[in-house]
Amino acid sequence: MKRTICIVTGSRAEYGLLYWLMREIQEDPDLELQIIATGMHLSPEFGLTYKVIEEDGFVISEKVEMLLSSDTPLSIAKSMGLGTIGCADAFNRLHPDIVVVLGDRYEIFAACTAALPARFPIAHIHGGETTEGVIDEALRHAITKMAHIHFTSTERSRRRVIQMGEQPERVFCYGAPGLDNIKRLTLLDKKAFEQAIGFKLGSTNFLITYHPVTLDENKAGTHFSELLEALDQFGETNLIFTRPNADTEGRSINLMINDYIGKNSDRAIAFDSLGQRNYLSALQYVDMVVGNSSSGLIEAPSFKIPTINIGDRQGGREQARTVIQCNTQKDSIVEALQKGFSKEFRNSIKQAVNPYDAGETSSRIKNTLKEIYLGDDLGGPGLIKKDFYEIGIAP
């Protein structure tokens, strides 16, 4: 009998990171792939990106509506409740052997909240990392404690998961699955990339992805305006924006992006999501990645280009030498951008190592999901009943 693996995805960006794992599961004759699409995938505002999943040849098993047409803290909390209810119904119908989730967003937390009391084993990817400026920090660690199998992206993250009481034999350090895209996707040449996005690159170019810092109340607009003022100091540089996720105050940033592009349409363009192929293709040609997205720390270093990481949204996350940290003030951002253009810095990162690249991540995760012991129907020891792993405490 085939083992059923249920992937939960709430955004196009997250789906891009899971793509090769989904493909590996789909192509294994001993496994059956189930997919739950929720969150931004089902929102017209974010492009109805569930269609991308279907266009890639996957069958979506369940669609769980959960987003409200607001980005206030109240609406986010209500969306989590709706997501929990919808995922509970979906899991009850699908009855998977393992539920697989990635990351730290509230959509994923809702899915885990539904899976836990139903006693479905949860496998969590990218646990043990830190992002001190956002609510995702707490959600990620909560998901770790709900999960039964852990796939971390670095050895430091693996140690953190074990520090939280998870058994070492259930914590696997396989790297970041999104990096499989760099090795396995055919990226676009410059002309094809420009045609794909309908935008001509300049002599210098920035790729900008900035999200609200959800633990800083009512500051998203203020911080983002500082970034826009800094970009004005580089008037000859072309700008490719990707809009933020469905987070608190995200809509205010979207409005500011639209207004800025309206005034700078000759050198700026914005996308709800570039998609993995276009995004990674962009990294081949831009001079810097600017903002506070995890992609600047995880994917960008593989292209040996500078990342200007603004503020503390990614605070505590491991960084390659390619990352330049700055605060949210215009002068600090300008100084970081100038450093990123400097010949000295660019020479220093030519041999930089990406700490998240372990190789063949998706294949190794799939094999573990396929082979790991789940327990038996007679109540024998399995994944569901977890012992707390004590560190440095004698029994």
**At which residue do the structure tokens 């590996």 appear?**
24
Quote the CA–CA distance of 12 and 395 in Å, as a whole number: 46
* Closest by Cα among 317, 285, 249 to 103: 317
Distances (CA, A) of 86 to 46, 53, 94, 112, 120: 20, 20, 12, 12, 16
Statement: residue 133 has pLDDT above 70: no
* Digit-coded pLDDT (tens) for 137-183: 899 999 999 999 999 999 999 999 999 999 999 999 999 999 999 99
What CATH architecture is 188-348? 3-Layer(aba) Sandwich (3.40)
* Digit-coded pLDDT (tens) for 33-84: 999 999 989 988 778 889 999 999 999 999 999 988 777 889 889 999 999 9
Q: Is the dihedral of CA 47, 48, 53, 57 positive or negative?
A: negative
3-175+358-371 shares its CATH topology with 188-348: yes
DSSP 52-100: HHHHTT----EEE----S--SHHHHHHHHHHHHHHHHHHHHHH--SEEE
Quote the CA–CA distance of 164 and 168 in Å, as a whole number: 11
Give the containing element (helix H, strand E) for 33: strand 31-38
Q: What pLDDT, on the 0 to 100 scale, is given for residue 51?
A: 94
pTM of the predicted protein model: 0.86
Q: What pLDDT, on the 0 to 100 scale, is given for residue 378?
A: 44
CA angle centred on 319, ends 317 and 321, rounded to 5°: 165
Q: Which CATH number describes the domain made up of 3-175+358-371?
A: 3.40.50.2000
The helix/strand/coil state of 123 is strand
**At which residue do the structure tokens 């100084």 appear?**
335
Token reading at 41? 């995938």
DSSP 2: P
The model's confidence at residue 251, banded by pLDDT at 50, 70 and 90, is confident
List the chain domain ranges: 3-175+358-371, 188-348
Token reading at 295? 């992609």
